[in-house]
Amino acid sequence: MGVNRTRSLPVKGNRVTASNSRHHWLALALVASNTGFAGICSAQLAKPGTAPAKGPDAPKPGDQTQSADPRSDAPIVPDAEFDSALPPLSSDLNAPLEPMSAAPAVAATPATATTSATTVSGDVLPPTGPADPQLAQPLIPLSSFDTTPLQTAADIKDKDAPEIRYETATKGLDKAGSGLEAEYKALSALAEGKGKAANATQVAARGREDEALAVRLLKSLGYYDATAISTIETIPDADKTKPARLKATVSAQPGRLYSLSSITVQANATTPPDLVRQQLPLKVGDPIEAARIQGAEANVSLTLPQQGYPFVKVGERDILLDDQTPTGAYTLPVDTGPRASFGQLRTEGDPVFNLEHLGLFPRFKAGELYDNRMTDDLRDALVATSQFSTVSVEPVRTGTVNADGTEQVDLLVRQSAGKPRSLGGNVGYSTGQGFRAEGTWQHRNLFPYEGALIGSVIAGTQEQGLSGTFRRANAGRRDRTFSLTAGANHSNYDAYDAFTTSVGVRWSYDSTPIWQKPLTYYYGGELVGTNESVYDFTQGKDVRRTYGIVALPGQVKFDRSDSLLNPTKGYRLTLNLSPETSVQGSVKPYIRTMIEGTFYYPVSSSIVIAGRAKAGSIQGVDRDDLAPSRRYYGGGGGSVRGYGYQRLGPFDPNGNPVGGRSLNEFALEARYRFGDFGIVPFIDAGNSYESSTPNLSSLRYGAGIGGRFYTSFGPMRFDVATPLNPRKGDGKIALYISIGQAF
C-alpha cells in the first residue's frame, strides 16, 4: 500500500580511482612480459629486503628503475623506453599478419622436489603432479545423472530423530482488532503444522514465516511500523520418560496506526462535478486499511458505469507515507472516458437472433444515459433463453456526439449458438400415487425465433400420458410466452379412473432458473373431454360418465423468495382463478379458486423455518355435478403427508374418496442443512370438505421427518410420515420421493 521514496547512495570517487589503478598495473605487467621486460616486472614484484639481481640485466647506476621511489608518482617505465620496446606497426591494414616464432623446446625436467619448485619473489609454487586419468574420461550423459539431493549435516543428524510436539501462542495481535488474530491463525504456518514437527529447526522456520505473516497483516490494517519476533522455548514434561515439548510464541508490536492526511483524485471533469470523489467512500483521518481502500476504488469502478461512464479505468494508487506524523497522502488517477448514452444494437457471430428479435430484449431506449445495469440485464435475458453456448454484450464507442454532449455508445452482442435439442425428466414415488416418471424432448428453436416444440411422456403405475406443446418465448415482447398444448392422459386412482383429452392455449409471464421474477402470471383457455368413473349416490354404485369442460384458467404469483427450488428466506403469494362450464347433460357454470401463501425464515445459516397455508373453494355447482378430476382432494406428498394421495375428505360407501368443493392445508418445517445433506422434521394438517367453504373442525394431522440431498439443480427429497389422527383404512407409514422441497 505505502510507497517509501528513498534516494540511492552515491559511489565514492576514491574507490573508483583505486580500482582503475589496479587494472592499469595488470595491463602493464602483461605487456612487459610479452616484450622482454621481465626484469622490470621481476624487480617490481620482488619483496622488500631481497638481494638485487646480478648479471648483464642488473640495473645500473642512474637507471630510473633503480632509484624510483615506490611512493612517488613517477612512472615505473618511462614512456620513451616503453614505446621503443613495442614492435613496429605497419600502416597497411590489409597486410597479412606476421608469422609467430616457434616457442623454444623445453627439456623435460624430472618432477622432483628440488627441481620443480620455481621461486617468484620469494613464493614457492606447489610441485606439479602427474595428470589425473579421470579428467580424460568423457562426461556422464545427462539421462543417467544422479539427481538425488545431497543430505546436509542437519539432515543426517536429525534423520532418525523422533517427531517432536510443540505449542503455539500469539501476543500483541489483539491490540490491532479482535478479528486479526482469527485471520492470522487461519494462515499461520505453525497452526498448519498442528503441533507436530520433525525437529526444532523446522519449528523455528515456521515461526519466521509467521513473523512475516503478522507484519503483513498488521500493515494491511495501517500499522506500517509493525514488528514481530518469534521465540522458541522448551517446556519440560512432568513425566521424565517423555521428551520435552516446545513452545513457539509470535509476539507482535503494531506500533502507530497510519491515517490518510489528504485524498487527491486526478480525473477529468464529470457531470455532476466531483462524481469520482463522491463515489470514493474515503475521508481524511481514515486508517490506511488495505480492504477499505480497495473496496472504495472498486466502488468507483462499479458505480461510474451506472452513471454514464462505461469506459472508466481506475489507475494505480500512490500513498506517500510520512513517519513523522504518522499519515499518508493518497493519490488516485482515474480515466473516466467520455460520458455516454445508449445507441444501437450490433451483432456478430452465429446468427441465432437477428437484430429485429434482439430489439425485444433491451429495457432502455436509444438516447438514454448509459447505465451498465441495463447492459447486464440485456445479457441475462439472452442467457435465460437457453439458445446460446456463449453470449456477451459490451459497449462500443462510435465517436458520434449527441446534442446533450454525450457520446453515442452502441452495444455489440456476440452470439454463439448452443445445442437446440435437449432431454429432461423427473422421477418420483409416493404412497397412494405410486411410481411416476416423466420425460421430455425439446427443440428450442425449431420455428425461429424461439419457437420450440416439446414432447412429453408420462409413465407410472397409476398415470400414463402423452402430450405435445408448441411454445414461443418472447412472443412479441420480452418475457411473454405463448404456448399451445394438446394431450391425452389416463389416471387410475382410488378417487376416480379417467381417460382425458385436452387442448389448451396460454399466455404467460414466468420465472426461469436464471431469471426469477417477483411478479408472474398466466391466462388462457382450455377444452377438456373426459370419461371418468364416479360413484352415483342415487344409484348406490360406480358409473362412468363423460364430461365436456370449458375453462378460462388464470394465475397471479407474487414471489419474494430467494430461490425457485430451495428458498431460504422471503415469501410467496399465489392466487388461482378459473371460471369453468361443465357439460354433462346440461350446462353448469361454476368458478374454482385457490389461494396459497408460503414463508421462509432463516433462524441461522443452517436452519430455516418454512410454513405454508392453502385454501380453495368451488362456487356455483353441486359436488356430484362436477367431474371427479375437477374436485378438491387432500393428502399426499404435496399436501398433508402421512395420508395417501387424495385420501383426505369425504368417502363413498366403498371406502374410496369422492373429493369436495373446498380445501384447507397447513404445513410447518424446520430445514436443517449440513454440507450437501439435510434433515427436515415437519408437521402437516388439512382436509377437503363437501361444502363450498373450508372449516377447521375436521383437520387431519400428519408428522414425520425427511432427508435432503442437495445437488446443483435442486434438493432430492425423501420424506417419511405417519398420520397422527388416522381413520379406518389409513396406513401407518407413507413415503415420498421427489426433486425439490415440498413447498
Query: What digits encode the pLDDT tens for the residues 468-507?
Result: 999 999 998 998 999 999 999 999 988 899 999 999 999 9
pLDDT of residue 741: 85
In a shared domain, residues 196 and 248: yes
Taking the C-alpha atoms of residue 664 and residue 681, their distance in angstroms, rounded to an integer, is 21
Same domain, 551 and 679: yes
Cell of 693: 367453504
Cis geometry, peptide bond prior to residue 449 (ω within 30 degrees of 0) = yes
* pLDDT score of 738 more than 60: yes
Q: Is residue 462 part of a domain?
A: no
**Does residue 722 lie in a domain region?**
yes
Instruction: Indicate if 345 and 329 belong to the same structural domain.
Output: no
On whether the pTM is more than 0.75, the answer is no
Answer whether residue 674 is part of any domain. yes
Query: What share of the chain has pLDDT > 90, as a percent?
Result: 57
Say if residue 201 is in the same domain as residue 233: yes
Q: Same domain for 191 and 277? A: no
Q: Residue 294 is inside which H or E element, if any?
A: helix 290-303
pLDDT at 66 over 70: no
In CATH, what number is assigned to the domain containing residue 614?
2.40.160.50
pLDDT of residue 357: 94
612 shares its domain with 533: yes
On whether residue 303 sits in a domain, the answer given is yes
Inside any domain, residue 445 = no
pLDDT of residue 403: 92
pLDDT, tens digit (0-9, with 9 covering 90-100), for 700-735:
999 999 999 988 777 889 999 999 999 888 888 988
- Based on the domain organization, do 532 and 634 belong to the same domain? yes
* Least trusted range by pLDDT, from 12-21, 416-425, 446-455, 542-551: 12-21
- The answer to whether residue 110 is domain-embedded is no
pLDDT value of residue 134? 66
**Last residue within a domain, chosen from 417, 450, 481:** 417
State the pLDDT confidence band at 216, using cuts at 50, 70 and 90: very high
Are residue 597 and residue 718 in the same domain, yes or no?
A: yes
Contact 520, 559 (CB under 8 A): yes
**Span 528-557, average pLDDT:** 91
As a whole number of Å, the end-to-end CA separation of the chain is 51
Question: How high does pLDDT run on average in the chain?
Answer: 82
| β pairing state of 497-509 and 519-536 | antiparallel
Q: Residue 646, by phi and psi: left (phi above 0), alpha (psi -120 to 50) or beta?
A: left
- Residues 274 and 363 grouped into a single domain: no
What would the pLDDT profile of 192-210 be if each residue is shown by its tens digit? 999 999 888 999 999 999 9
Which residues touch 600 (CB under 8 Å, ≥6 apart)?
A: 561, 562, 567, 568, 569, 570, 571, 608, 609, 610
Q: What is the largest CA-CA distance in the chain?
A: 159
Q: What does the pLDDT average to over 343-355?
A: 93
The range of the structural domain enclosing residue 309 comes to 259-335
536 falls in which pLDDT band (50, 70, 90)? confident
- The answer on 677 and 726 residing in a single domain is yes
Cell of 685: 394438517
pLDDT at 377: 92
The pLDDT of residue 202 is 92
Instruction: Please tell me the total count of domains within the chain.
Output: 4
Torsion sign (Cα): 303, 309, 315, 317: negative
Residue 347 has pLDDT above 50, yes or no: yes
3-state SS assignment for residue 712: coil
Greater confidence (634 vs 121) lies with: 634
* Residue in 248, 183, 188 with CA at minimum distance from that of residue 212: 188
DSSP one-letter string for 361-420: S-SS-TTSBP-HHHHHHHHHHHHHTT-EEEEEEEEEEEEEE-TTSPEEEEEEEEEEE--S
Please check the confidence at residue 665 and state whether its pLDDT lies above 90. yes
**Taking 90 as the threshold, does the pLDDT of residue 170 lie above it?**
yes
- Whether 65 shows a pLDDT value over 70: the answer reads no
Average pLDDT over residues 115-141: 56
Residues 573 and 558 in one domain: yes
Weakest mean pLDDT among 103-112, 270-279, 366-375 = 103-112
Cα dist. 418→18, 390, 391, 488 in Å?
76, 7, 10, 32
Q: Is residue 422 part of a domain?
A: no
Work out the pLDDT band at 162, boundaries 50, 70, 90: low
Is residue 502 located within the same domain as residue 401? no
Lowest mean pLDDT among 4-8, 300-304, 433-437: 4-8
3-state class of 701 per DSSP? strand
DSSP-derived pairing of the beta strands 662-674 and 677-689: antiparallel
Residue 590 in any domain: the answer is: yes
306 falls in which pLDDT band (50, 70, 90)? Answer: very high
Give the residue from 253, 282, 297 where a domain finishes.
253
pLDDT score at 147 = 55
- CATH code of 249's domain: 3.10.20
Q: What is the DSSP string of 77-123?
A: S-HHHHHHHSPP--S-TTSPPPPPPPPPP-------TTTS--EETTE
CATH code (residue 351): 3.10.20.310
Last residue of a domain, one of 293, 311, 335: 335
For residues 188 and 248, the answer to whether their CB atoms sit within 8 Å is no
